Amino acid sequence: MVCDFFPIEDSTQFMYKVLKFQGVDTMSTNVISMDDFKAELNERIKLGYTVTGFNLEPVSSKVIQLVY
C-alpha cells in the first residue's frame, strides 16, 4: 500500500491524500487538514512506514473540486 500526500494549490490548511494499492490502483482520495496530515504522517512513521519522497508539485484545487 502506498500513501501519497500532495500540497493543494493556494492552500496552507489542507493536503490531498491518495491511497494506492501496490502503487498502481487508486483506492481512495481525501482532502485532509494540515493537522491531520502531520498526525497521520507521524503515526505511519512510528508504525514503520518509509518516506520515499516528497511531493512538492501542488494539486490544482479545480481538480479536487471535480473529485468531490
**Contact, 45 vs 60, CB < 8 A?**
no
Residue 58 has a pLDDT of: 92
The reported pLDDT for the residue numbered 5 is 94
Cα separation of 37 and 15, whole Å?
Answer: 7
> How high is the pLDDT of residue 38?
96
For 10, the grid coordinates are 493556494
Amino acid 9: pLDDT: 92
Query: What is the arithmetic mean of pLDDT over 4-11?
Result: 93
Q: What is the pLDDT of residues 10-53, one digit of tens each?
A: 999 999 999 998 767 889 999 999 999 999 999 999 999 989 88
Domain boundaries, given as residue ranges, for the chain: 2-67
Q: Tell me: pLDDT of 2 over 70.
A: yes
